[in-house]
Amino acid sequence: MFSLFKKKTPTITDTLACIGADMHNHLLPGIDDGSPDVETSLYLMDHLMQLGYSKIYCTPHVLGEVHPNTPQTIEAAYQQLQTAATEKGWNVLKGFSAEYMIDYDFESILEKENFVPLPGKRVLIEMSFAVESPNIREMIFQLQTKGYEPILAHPERYPFYFDRFDKYESFLDAGADLQINILSLAGYYGKPSQKIAEKLLDEQFVTWVGTDLHHDRHLAALIKLAADKNIIKRLERIKLLKNRSL
């Protein structure tokens, strides 16, 4: 059980309602490095709702032998959580997809189209934080060729782009959307990521904002962020139209 359950945590009600939908999180129980069980998932969901989120789409990792999830394993975990949420009278869960690591394994997944996209045939993709995926451009192209809309997860966290801001624009030119983690705006992942996230917002390069919520430490940081009036004002100024259309 997470340590957060053992103490009272103040909640800033509805502050993040301007975002509406959380389209990137790791709330499905027991299938990746996120929530370990249904009880934890429900606790995290409860706080997301209190913060103002009205829709949640679950996106566990799909990463080789580390998190070898399939549409079947993801759906099974989702149905388990959906049943528990329904018993509580909650209607916040709206679907599931995954966060797909762009590596050579993904080429096989894409070829067989053995994945579940977000609404609108959107596919959330990521890279290692250590090195750029050598096939990232080709996979973005192939996704589009097959009629999918790629979304690059947390680009502000890739250190190999910190000194190459032109790379972010090149992803947009290639047809990919950019999704930042909301906690980057609070410096949770360090100052360089915070500066990039802020600049991406200022340049209006951001289409999606996700929590990337894994555990109680993320939740505590999210609650603290929700009380920061400057961050909230920044979020309220941007138009996350696609977020609301999920």
Query: Band of the pLDDT at 4, cuts 50, 70, 90?
Result: very low
**Within a domain: 78:** yes
CB 119 within 8 A of CB 90: no
Per-residue pLDDT tens for 100-119?
999 999 999 999 999 999 99
Position 3 in a domain? no
In a domain, 2, yes or no: no
Strands 99-101 and 93-96 turn out to be unpaired
Q: Write the pLDDT tens digit of every residue in 19-55.
A: 999 999 999 999 999 999 999 999 999 999 999 999 9
**Beta strands 61-62; 55-58: pairing state:** unpaired
Please enumerate in sequence order all residues whose Cβ is within 8 A of that of 33, keeping only pairs 6 or more positions apart, or say none. 26, 61, 67, 214
Q: Which of helix, strand or coil describes residue 73? A: helix
Per residue in 195-245, pLDDT (tens digit) is: 999 999 999 999 999 999 999 999 999 999 999 999 998 888 765 555 657
Residue 130: inside a domain: yes
Question: Is pLDDT above 50 for 174?
Answer: yes
CA separation for the pair 20, 210 (Å, rounded): 10
The answer to whether residue 98 is domain-embedded is yes
Range of the domain at 165: 17-245
For the entire predicted model, the pTM comes to 0.93
Residue 9 resides in a domain: no
CATH of the domain at 221: 3.20.20.140
What is the tens place of the pLDDT at every residue in 47-90?
999 999 999 999 999 999 899 999 999 999 999 999 999 999 99
**Backbone dihedral angles phi then psi of residue 192, each to the nearest 5 degrees:** -60, -45
Mean pLDDT confidence for 123-141 = 97
Residue 13's pLDDT band (cuts 50, 70, 90): confident
Paired tokens of 141: 């192209």
Task: Please determine, for residue 2, whether its predicted confidence score (pLDDT) is greater than 50.
Answer: no
The answer as to whether 211 is a domain residue is yes
Does residue 10 lie within any of the structural domains? no
Locate 30 and state its tokens.
């027991």
Q: Return the pLDDT at 171.
A: 98
- The structural domain count of the chain equals 1
The reported pLDDT for the residue numbered 12 is: 65
